[in-house]
Chains A and B, each alone.
Chain A
Amino acid sequence: EPEVTQTPSHQVTQMGQEVILRCVPISNHLYFYWYRQILGQKVEFLVSFYNNEISEKSEIFDDQFSVERPDGSNFTLKIRSTKLEDSAMYFCASIGREGRDTQYFGPGTRLTVL
């Protein structure tokens, strides 16, 4: 069974600091996504990425957020200046064929902003 991996599993940071969350999608997948889940709430879409550019983003994904695929394997989410309300579980996901295949989710990174 193919899997998406994410690092770190848990990150604690001080408010105002920059964080980078890392994901390694499944190797032959073409479409990549970030979602977040605030504790006790549902999973929310942040951004989708295809062909080295953002294809869709939600209103949550403001100027403090950015995504990058720096090489052929990694997919990163950067938060420039973290706020307390950024504390959440962040999930990376990937699909081989957009909307027509299983979307595989990583195990998540729990971000705690103090």
Chain B
Amino acid sequence: GIQVEQSPPDLILQEGANSTLRCNFSDSVNNLQWFHQNPWGQLINLFYIPSGTKQNGRLSATTVATERYSLLYISSSQTTDSGVYFCAPNTNAGKSTFGDGTTLTVKP
């Protein structure tokens, strides 16, 4: 099955800093989603991004499907951005394969 690697595994930032999270995947995908898991364990969908670039406020994402990677950018980070960020490519089978996640800690 498809392999998904996320980096870095852990990231500690000061409030206001910018960051880039990376997701590499081993196979062609139909789509890709980025999630933020909040402290209550809920998966919050950030982006559905099979290719190209999307922006939503301080967050943006880029997927280069031909090179099998996606990037999540967080600008002017806030303490509420803390949590685990998951990348989840979705193949023809319809199921999502999650990476191990990046744990982001934003310090005040």
Contact = CB atoms under 8 A, between A and B. Distances in A.
Interface of A: 31, 33, 35, 37, 42-45, 48, 50, 55-56, 89, 91, 93, 95, 98-105, 107-108, 110
The main secondary structure of chain A at its interface with chain B is strand
B30 A99 contact: yes
Interface residues of B, number: 24
Interface string B9-51: 0000000000000000000001101010000111101001000
Interface in B82-108: 86, 88, 90-101
B95 A48 contact: yes
B7 to A, nearest CB: 14
B43 A43 contact: yes
B86 A42 contact: yes
Interface of B: 30-31, 33, 35, 40-43, 45, 48, 86, 88, 90-101
11 contacts: A33-B95, A43-B88, A93-B96, A99-B30, A99-B93, A102-B45, A102-B48, A103-B33, A103-B94, A103-B96, A107-B42
